[in-house]
Structure 1
Amino acid sequence: MIICLDIGGSGIKGAVATSPSDLRPLGRIPTPLHDFDAFAEAIRTMADAAHATAPIAISITGVVDPDTGIITCANIPCIDVRTLAADLEARLHRRVLIANDADAFALVEAVEGAGRGHRAVFGAILGTGVGGGIVVDGHILTGAGGFAGEWGHGPVAATSAGTPPVEIPRFPCGCGQIGCVDTIGAARGMERLHKYLHGIDAPSTAIVEAWLAGDDKAARTIDVQIDLLAGPLALVINVVGASIVPVGGGLGKVAPFIELLDAAVRQRILRRLATPLVVPAQLTVEPGLVGAAILGFSELAA
């Protein structure tokens, strides 16, 4: 038995897993953001209600350095720059395993979803921002510092895109760099591009709806964004050798968007493919909890 937790900046969701495919929900509670004692106690309360001694596997926003165990998590300040797994183990007297939520997503898709049967899977997140995770032979590749798969950051966004081409400024990124893919990708990037191109403030959902309804301005925004995303994603695929790229997050659920991105990426990679490479994620219900369960049973229950 594994206690599975999916922790974000607004809430902690829990489940008891007797196998990766058998999860019983434990509900959801708010995430304590500024008090580590309250954060640990919230986890203790949820875990104790399910089982007194079962190990805990956590999918969490933030990046864990595999060498030091230190987590970088700006949106939950009370755990930022802590050795979170060790600190929780000392408090809760249970084994604790922690994985980045994008890595957990990639693992779910590799084991149970669109990546089943593929040796190398790159799970791309196009949600509020841009993220990703790499799974090879069923194991998460964390890399130095835990940053493997983070294709959203690094100053690689093009400065000209679309048909016909339009000049795109190098927008500042929350990571401190300028011109990251995160600044022009996913939901916030779509909104930023739409305002830059047309002077219109609109949520990404409205832009997508307008595009699907035939709006020319929205179509231009999508065209530019696809062009900006396709190059960096193609580079990742060439380097990693991924044979499938499941896409999660809000834009991953917009099939026409993913179809356009897939076609643009396949034109840019070295390998020639006649079948889809970039595809919508298959397991869209609680991927964080399912990913924690898979990780827990492969490592904690061994």
Structure 2
Amino acid sequence: MITAFDIGGSTIKAALARGPESLTMLGRVPTPRDDFSAFADAIAGLIDKGGASKDGPVAISVTGVVDPDSGLVTCANIPCIDGRNLARDLGTRLGRTVLVANDADCFVLAEAHTGAGRGHRVVFGAILGTGAGGGLVVDGKLHPGAGGLAGEWGHGTIVATKVSVAPFELPHFACGCGQSGCLDTVGAARGIERLHRHLHGTDLPSTEILARWEAGDAQAEQTIALQVELVSQPLALVVNIVGPGIVPVGGGLGNSAALIARIDAAVRPRILRKLDRPLVVPAQLTTDAGLVGAAMLGLESQEP
């Protein structure tokens, strides 16, 4: 059995996994962000609660970037693990094998095996939450890429500045990664809010903008039309390069079926492969994708 964890900046969730679709929830605790000893103790307490065997492996989905070569974690949200080889250090503390992957990778791994990607050889999972990210699974196996950055389509100067939606020209916004013009600045929840502010001078949460859009508000329609154009162009390029059979979308915006359908309708005419079925779809695993993906990570490690 695998003890699976989904670790975010505020909460640690855990489950005992006998398989990707057989999880026994062990509960959740606050994430100790500044004290690694307290962080390790929280993990150990949940493992003990589950009653896994003394040598049972631990598999973790964590916010941030995990370099598969060095094992180093980059995680601004949890300072006590930032810059640390989490698998090694936590494994030493627990006396167990520890596997670690970032949350976007675990999301797409879960969707590929038990969600919208089931039956597809190549699955690109797109995250449109607070920011934009993603991950890639090929033939059922996670492809983390060099530095653990495969699928991270949210960064790079790729956002269009000339668009078909008024005002027809758009500046590149500065991104937290240090570049300008990244998809992360306009493509997800904070991006919708930034675009709405730029277009209309009004600060609204993304949930309110989406609600107004679905109710037929003209200003919200302009914001969403612009956001869909800015997202669909780079996503179409990703599809052409990677060749996924399906693109499940997770994160908060993935909960809006209407928005994802509109993005799908904008992406498919822009790709080389012609499809008469949806390609970009809402994720099916919205609550426990991190735990399911972590469980799959652990189960993969046990395959002969």
User: TM above 0.5, one fold?
Assistant: yes
Distance 2:165 2:157 in 1: 23
SS at match of 2:5: strand
Q: Kindly provide the CA deviation profile for residues 80-131 of structure 1, in whole angstroms up to 9, marking residues without a partner as x.
A: 1111100011110001011111011101111111111111100001111101
Q: Tell whether 2:189 aligns with 1:187.
A: yes
Q: Name the SS of the counterpart of 2:270 in structure 1.
A: coil
Q: CA–CA distance in 2 between the matches of 1:79 and 1:162?
A: 44
Give the aligned partner of residue 29 of structure 1: 29
Asked whether the equivalents of residues 63 and 73 of structure 1 are also in contact (C-alpha less than 8 Å), the reply is yes
**Normalising by the residue count of structure 1, what TM-score does the alignment of the two structures yield?**
0.98
Partner SS for 1:32: coil
Give me the whole-angstrom Cα distance separating, in 1, the residues matched to 2:10 and 2:135: 22
CA distance in structure 1 between the partners assigned to 2:32 and 2:116 by the alignment: 34
Question: Which of 185, 195, 198 lines up with 1:196 in the alignment?
Answer: 198
Say whether the 8 Å CA contact 1:95–1:300 is kept in structure 2.
no
What is aligned with 1:137?
139
| 1:65, distance to aligned residue in structure 2 (A) | 0.8
Q: Distance in 2 between matches of 1:186 and 1:268?
A: 20
Tell me by how many angstroms 1:206 deviates. 0.3
Match of 1:74 in 2: 76
Is contact 2:20–2:114 with CA below 8 Å preserved after alignment?
Answer: no
Q: CA deviation at 1:162?
A: 3.8
Report the alpha carbon displacement of residue 273 of structure 1 after superposing the two structures with TM. 1.1
Aligned length: 302
Q: Which residue of 2 aligns with 1:15?
A: 15
Distance 1:301 1:14 in 2: 22
For residues 1-302 of structure 1, the aligned pairs below 5 Å read: 1-50=1-50, 51-53=52-54, 54-164=56-166, 166-300=168-302
CA distance in 2, matches of 1:102, 1:261: 20
Give yes or no for contact 2:21–2:114 (8 Å, CA) kept in 1: no
Q: Partners in 2 of 1:116 and 1:74 — Cα distance?
A: 33
Cα pair 1:97 1:300 within 8 Å, conserved: no
How far the C-alpha of 1:260 sits from its partner, in A, is: 0.8
Could you tell me how far 1:52 is from its partner in structure 2?
4.8
**Structure 1 vs Structure 2: percent identity of aligned residues?**
62
CA RMSD, Structure 1 to Structure 2 (Å): 1.1
Please give the alpha-carbon distance, in whole angstroms, between the structure 1 residues aligned to 2:92 and 2:303: 19
Distance apart, 1:276 and its partner CA:
0.7
Q: Give the Cα separation in 1 of the matches to 2:119 and 2:167.
A: 39
Q: Offset at 1:35?
A: 1.0
Supply the distance in 2 between the matched residues of 1:151 and 1:210 (Cα, whole angstroms): 28
Q: Which moved more, 1:203-212 or 1:30-39?
A: 30-39
Give 5+ residue unaligned stretches, structure 2. none
Deviation at 1:164, TM superposition (A): 4.3
Mapped partners of 1:59, 1:78: distance in 2: 16
Task: Decide whether the 8 Å contact of 1:162 with 1:223 is kept in 2.
Answer: no
| Alignment partners' CA distance in 2, 1:140 and 1:259 | 26
Whole-angstrom distance in 2 between the partners of 1:240 and 1:301: 26
Match of 1:86, as an amino acid?
R
Deviations 1:160-195 (A, max 9, x none): 224345211111111111110000011000000000
The 2-side partners of 1:20 and 1:44 are apart by 22
CA contact (8 A) 2:134 2:153 kept: yes
User: Can you give the 5+ residue segments of structure 1 that lack an aligned partner in the other structure?
Assistant: none
Encode CA deviations 1:6-60: one digit per residue, 9 max, x unaligned: 0000010001112221111111111111111111111111112212522101011
Moved more, 43-52 or 73-82: 43-52
